Chains A and B, each alone.
Chain A
């Protein structure tokens, strides 16, 4: 029996049909990449497998927001924005990495570790996850804890990294732009 409730769920942001088809295409491209076979048999097997896999997995990839009023699809992000964000993040990674290596290779360690606590609220729960992951990926800052209502506790290694965290137009603004939503940001406390 096929349960079609998910297609008529009004609390999902965006269209379930678009989500399902985009996910099927994504899985099919991945299949083609890994198999490297272009015989018709494998192409058809791949298509059937990706349709079934996306149909089975789709309900698992819907996450509710903090109020529980809406459900967001995990991969429901504009792919062009994702590519732009990826390259921007790579550039930030290189800059921050050079800073950290300079600070650690000096004769006297040029570090000043501190814990920055800030609050970041965005409706889409993916925003919370992407921000936490991007902060951890950037050298000089590691997310130590995130609560569901958006309180971040971040360990910053150098003064420059800590200043970068306190700037709302930096990474928090870029994540909000990626998801196309408004956000609230305020620094709660800095522990030296």
Chain B
């Protein structure tokens, strides 16, 4: 095993910690956002940065070697591949007519529910 210096270790931990924050943020978004399209933002995109920061942290921890270069190559493939997956999911949903949630729809739904509640009371 190669020797890992303290500075290297600290930088690696900071990068991986930041990556973890972004991944947790994306998980929260996945649970809280209202519809399919906005969840694609949370799952597909915030995750990209989280994954990339963790890979970068691993590369720094490993030091200057061919393993780090391979980790950087994986990182580039994630960078190219992840948006394509998100795009295909969103495109298929859009072409098959899945409705897009907007604030207008949320208000209409609230009004509808209020009317239904009034009817029940009467």
A binding-site residues for B, Cβ under 8 Å: 30, 33-34, 36, 93-94, 97, 100-101, 104-105, 109, 111-115, 132-134, 136-145, 153, 155, 157, 191-192
Contact = CB atoms under 8 A, between A and B. Distances in A.
B25 interface: yes
Interface string B24-35: 011011001111
Given A109-B33, A113-B101, A155-B37, A143 B87 contact: yes
A97 B46 contact: yes
Interface of B: 22, 25-26, 28-29, 32-35, 37-38, 40-42, 44-46, 48-49, 66, 69-70, 73, 79-80, 82-84, 86-87, 90-91, 93-95, 100-104
Contacts of A94: 49
B103 A136 contact: no
Q: Is the interface of A mostly helix, strand, loop or mixed?
A: mixed
14 contacts: A33-B66, A101-B25, A101-B29, A101-B46, A104-B33, A109-B34, A112-B103, A133-B83, A133-B84, A136-B90, A139-B46, A143-B87, A143-B91, A155-B37
A132 B84 CA distance: 9
Contact of B37 (A142, A145, A192): A142
A105 B24 CA distance: 10
Contacts of A138: 45
Contacts of A132: 87
Given A100-B41, A104-B25, A137 B46 contact: no
B86 to A, nearest CB: 5
Contact of A104 (B29, B80, B82): B29
A148 to B, nearest CB: 14
Contacts of B25: 97, 100-101, 104-105
Contacts of A133: 80, 83-84, 87
Given A114-B102, A137-B79, A155-B90, 6 more contacts: A100-B25, A104-B25, A137-B83, A139-B46, A145-B95, A192-B103
A90 to B, nearest CB: 8
A137 B40 contact: no
B94 A145 contact: yes
Contacts of A192: 102-104
Contacts of B104: 192
Contact of B28 (A30, A33, A104, A144): A104
Contacts of A143: 87, 90-91
B86 A93 contact: no
B46 A142 contact: no
B42 A155 contact: no
Given A33-B70, A137-B83, A145-B94, A104 B100 contact: no
Nearest to B29: A104
A139 B40 CA distance: 10
Contacts of A140: 41, 45
Nearest to A141: B41
